[in-house]
Amino acid sequence: MSLQLPLRGSSALRCSRKATAISLVCSHPAKCIARQWQTRCQTRQYSTPPPPKTYFQPGDSGAPDPKYFKPVESQSTPSSTPPTTYFQPVNSQSPQDTNPPDAAPRAKRSLRPYIYSALFLAIGLTIGGVADRTLHPPPPLEPGSKADIMRSNAIYKLAERLPIVQSLSSDPEWTSQDAYADVPEEARKVRFTGGALGGSRGLGGFRRSFYHKTSGEAITVVHFGDGLWGFPKITHGGLIATVMDEVLGLCAIRQFPSKTGVTANLELNYLAPAMVGHFYIIRAIPVAKGMTERKCFVTGTVETVTGRILVEAKGLFVVPKGYELKAITT
């Protein structure tokens, strides 16, 4: 196998000069000899492949140390590994990767500020609504009006479902009677608790008394209406004293043979406020000690429907001498 390689620049220059000199000396036939000589100088025959090309030939005095520099070898076939570049082609990215490789992930916006804002807004609206209804409540209904009658009927139906009302109404040891049930309409209007405090705004929503046949104990279930304020939403203390005077007095009168009497003394201890718009239970128990045909002590309490005591009371009721009073039946 033979391979022709070009000569170095210095060898080609010497051959060219020699061919030119021959062509000047010789005649026309010598030009062919000069061309053959020039062609012969341009190529050289090798039986084996030359060593790999380097900038310095081995053995040169100026050649660098092979320890740090290696000869450049010619590659007959291209490498299968693609060259390393600083930028990748666009189509090399996966379809799912839409963000640049070095881009930071976008931070998710938190919903916590919006939740807190909605929560505080709801709390503010609720507190504001309660305060507005407390300080500026709607006016109470006029007794005898159509709306007042409807509300009184609704209160009455709610009272009928109270456990204590159902229990005492079904017990044969107890008798019951609604307040002023036997009093005519004209006479009821001039009564303080039946006229001025009547209707759903006062005591006319529901008031029923139960009496025990043996012990003489009296239990009254009453509804304090929305028009009985003292402080905002709190039942007036004087109204409670008025109701206790009637309930304890009726309990004492049932012990007298004359079925009548008046209040001689009444003491009340207020333990907790009674809110308007709720049902309450008033208990009255006659005290056997010291009881006569003309004198009777009675103790009583005002309780919630759950049994919490709000007011304690004690009264003395007598039948006056020298005055003939009408018998009280309700």
User: How many Cβ atoms sit within 10 Å of the Cβ of residue 64?
Assistant: 11
Domain-located, residue 283: yes
Domain-located, residue 76: no
In a shared domain, residues 189 and 306: yes
Tokens of 175: 């008798």
Helix (H) or strand (E) holding 3: strand 3-6
What is the domain-level CATH number for residue 220? Answer: 3.10.129.10
In a shared domain, residues 49 and 150: no
Residue 191 makes CB contacts below 8 A (sequence gap 6+) with 180, 183
For each of the chain's 330 residues, which pLDDT tens digit applies? 444 545 455 555 565 565 555 555 455 555 555 565 555 555 555 555 666 555 556 566 666 666 655 555 555 555 556 555 554 555 555 555 555 555 566 667 788 888 888 988 888 888 887 777 666 667 778 888 899 999 999 999 999 999 999 999 999 999 999 988 888 888 888 888 888 898 999 998 999 999 999 999 999 999 999 999 898 889 999 999 999 999 999 999 999 998 999 999 999 999 999 999 999 999 999 999 989 999 999 999 999 999 999 999 999 999 998 878 888 876
In a shared domain, residues 158 and 273: yes
In a shared domain, residues 178 and 311: yes
Domain-located, residue 131: no
Question: What pLDDT does 1 receive?
Answer: 46
Phi then psi for 9, rounded to 5 degrees? Answer: -60, -35
Which of 30, 53, 76 is the last residue in one of the domains? 53
Which of 32, 53, 74 is the last residue in one of the domains? 53
Domain-located, residue 111: no
Tokens of 113: 């500020």
Domain-located, residue 122: no
Q: Any idea which residue has 């049930």 for tokens? A: 181
Query: Domain of 32?
Result: 1-53
In a shared domain, residues 41 and 160: no
- By CB atoms closer than 10 A (0-12, 13-18, 19+), residue 91 is exposed
In a shared domain, residues 201 and 304: yes
Question: What pLDDT does 301 receive?
Answer: 97
In a shared domain, residues 205 and 311: yes
Q: Cβ distance 219 to 210 under 8 Å?
A: yes
Domain-located, residue 289: yes
Q: Cβ distance 221 to 303 under 8 Å?
A: no
In a shared domain, residues 38 and 156: no
Q: Cβ distance 223 to 205 under 8 Å?
A: yes
Domain-located, residue 184: yes
Tokens of 85: 């570049």
Number of domains in the chain: 2
In a shared domain, residues 153 and 42: no
What's the pTM?
Answer: 0.60
Q: Cβ distance 287 to 299 under 8 Å?
A: yes
Closest among 330, 293, 303 to 317, alpha carbons compared = 293
Domain-located, residue 14: yes
Residue 14 makes CB contacts below 8 A (sequence gap 6+) with 41
Phi-psi region of 114 (alpha: psi -120 to 50; beta: other; left: phi over 0): alpha
Closest among 25, 329, 313 to 179, alpha carbons compared = 329
In a shared domain, residues 155 and 16: no
